[in-house]
């Protein structure tokens, strides 16, 4: 492996960790309706004999800030979708209206907001741990190149600084996103 490959993998893997955290943040609801809150819920469709994400079997919209509307394309799976939404423990009670399911967003209490902020901090920490793991792997690969004589000591030190800068940049992105999400969660 050469240094170009190491840095390509480093950038890609760190970006994946950041993107994962951002995607996780989208799942935290702030009292505002967002289709992202429910689109990943797995629905077991008995008539199909399989499980699939809600986004694959229904149109999901947020017509107003307090409501999510789920409209399955196949009218026969409405009950399966409703059952999956109830079992997802979102704190939202689905209301079935024939072919459409409405999810009215409850107002968040102060305690629930604090709880969600802690969950966001946990998600961010997991992302930072992933980024640090990628850094550790890159450093190990650089040390291996230095050990087998492919990389000089000066080049190794220079590359280690670059790896650390990438790490700091990606952790900074996570921290910035966390601050934004916490503000969003704690603002009434």
Tell me the two tokens of residue 152. Answer: 């000089």
Instruction: Work out the average pLDDT over 157-170.
Output: 93
Per-residue pLDDT tens digits for 58-89: 898 888 888 889 898 888 888 888 888 888 77
Output the pLDDT for position 31.
67
153-186 and 3-26 are packed helices; what angle lies between their axes, rounded to 10 degrees?
10
CATH number assigned to the domain covering 35-104: 3.30.1360.40
Output the pLDDT for position 179.
92
Q: Which CATH class is domain 3-26+109-186?
A: mainly alpha
- Which DSSP symbol is given to 141? H
pLDDT over threshold 70, residue 30? no
pLDDT bracket for residue 164 (50, 70, 90): very high
Instruction: Work out the average pLDDT over 97-123.
Output: 84
Alpha-carbon span 44 to 25, nearest angstrom: 25
The overall pTM is greater than 0.85: no
Of residues 165 and 51, more confidence is placed in 165
Tell me the two tokens of residue 97. Answer: 């209206």
Domain positions in the chain: 3-26+109-186, 35-104
Torsion of CA 173, 18, 133, 124, to 10 degrees: 70
Alpha-carbon span 20 to 160, nearest angstrom: 25
Alpha-carbon span 129 to 121, nearest angstrom: 12
Helix and strand counts by DSSP (H, E) for the chain: 4, 6
Of residues 42 and 18, more confidence is placed in 18
Of residues 34 and 74, more confidence is placed in 74
Alpha-carbon span 17 to 61, nearest angstrom: 28
Alpha-carbon span 121 to 113, nearest angstrom: 12
Closest by Cα among 56, 23, 21, 49 to 37: 23
Of residues 46 and 102, more confidence is placed in 102
What letters, b where the CB count within 10 A reaches 16 and e where it falls short, cover 135-174? beebbebbeebbeeeebeeeebeebbebbeebbeebbebb
């Amino acid at each position: 492996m050469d240094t170009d490959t190491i840095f390509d993998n480093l950038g890609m893997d760190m970006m994946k960790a950041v993107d994962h955290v951002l995607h996780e943040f989208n799942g935290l609801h702030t009292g505002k309706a967002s289709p992202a809150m429910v689109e990943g819920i797995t629905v077991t469709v008995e008539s199909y004999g399989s499980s699939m994400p809600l986004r694959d079997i229904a149109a999901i919209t947020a017509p107003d800030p307090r409501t999510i509307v789920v409209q399955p394309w196949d009218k026969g799976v409405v009950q399966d979708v409703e059952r999956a939404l109830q079992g997802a423990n979102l704190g939202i009670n689905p209301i079935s209206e024939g072919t459409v399911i409405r999810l009215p967003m409850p107002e968040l209490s102060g305690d629930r907001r604090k709880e969600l902020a802690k969950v966001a901090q946990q998600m961010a920490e997991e992302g930072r741990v992933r980024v640090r793991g990628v850094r550790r792997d890159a450093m190990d690969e650089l040390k291996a190149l230095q050990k087998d004589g492919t990389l000089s000591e000066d080049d190794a030190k220079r590359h280690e600084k670059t790896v650390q800068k990438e790490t700091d940049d990606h952790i900074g992105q996570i921290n910035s996103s966390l601050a934004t999400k916490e503000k969003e969660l704690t603002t009434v």
